[in-house]
Structure 1
Amino acid sequence: MSKLLVFFVITILLVSCDGRYRAHQSNQDVLKEHKLYESFSENVTYIPETYSEVMSDTLMNNGYHVKIKTYTDMDNSFLNVLKKDMITHKNYYRNLKTAVNISKDNQNIASTLITKDFVMNYDASYKAVLKNKIMQGVWLNQYASINTNSVVMDVLFIDPKENATACYRLTVNDNGDYSIESKPQSKAV
Structure 2
Amino acid sequence: MKHLLALFIIIIIAFTSCEGRKTQSQALSESIAEFKKTATFETNIYIPENYLEHQVDTLMSNGFRVKIKTYSDMSSDVLFSKIKDTINYQTHYRNFKFDIRVEKEGQLIFEESYDKHKANKLFGYRDDFVSDSPFYNFDKLAILQSIQVDDEPSPKNKVLIDVMYAIPETNRTALHTLFVNDNGTINMVHVTQN
C-alpha spacing 1:101/1:118, structure 2 compared with 1 (3 Å): same
Question: Whole-Å Cα distance in 1 between the matches of residues 123 and 174 of structure 2?
Answer: 14
Partner residue in 2 for 1:155? 163
Q: Which structure: greater helix fraction? A: 1
TM-score (norm 1): 0.73
**% identity of equivalent residues:** 34
Partner residue in 2 for 1:167? 175
Letter in 2 for 1:139: Q
Unmatched tracts of structure 2, length 5 or more: 1-26, 130-134
Question: Whole-Å Cα distance in 1 between the matches of residues 114 and 150 of structure 2?
Answer: 16
C-alpha spacing 1:87/1:180, structure 2 compared with 1 (3 Å): same
Larger Rg: 2
1:106 is aligned to 2:106: yes
Partner residue in 1 for 2:53? 53
Partner residue in 1 for 2:189? 181
2:150 to 104, 123, 141: 141
Partner residue in 2 for 1:67? 67
Unmatched tracts of structure 1, length 5 or more: 1-22
Q: Is the 8 A contact 1:154 1:167 kept in 2?
A: yes
Question: Whole-Å Cα distance in 2 between the matches of residues 28 and 107 of structure 1?
Answer: 69
How far off is 1:123 after superposition? 5.6
Alignment RMSD: 2.4
Taking the TM superposition and a 5 Å limit, the aligned residue runs for 1:120-139 are 120-122=120-122, 124=124, 126-127=125-126, 128=129, 129=135, 130-131=138-139, 132-139=141-148
Q: Is the 8 A contact 2:73 2:94 kept in 1?
A: yes
Question: Whole-Å Cα distance in 2 between the matches of residues 89 and 184 of structure 1?
Answer: 32
Aligned-partner SS, 2:99: strand
Question: Whole-Å Cα distance in 2 between the matches of residues 152 and 61 of structure 1?
Answer: 13
Letter in 1 for 2:158: S
Aligned-partner SS, 1:176: coil
Aligned-partner SS, 1:121: helix
Question: Whole-Å Cα distance in 1 between the matches of residues 117 and 186 of structure 2?
Answer: 16
C-alpha spacing 1:64/1:43, structure 2 compared with 1 (3 Å): same
**1:97-139 per-position Cα deviation (integer Å, ceiling 9, x unaligned):** 1111111111100111133322321364x32422221111211
Letter in 1 for 2:67: K
C-alpha spacing 1:53/1:122, structure 2 compared with 1 (3 Å): closer
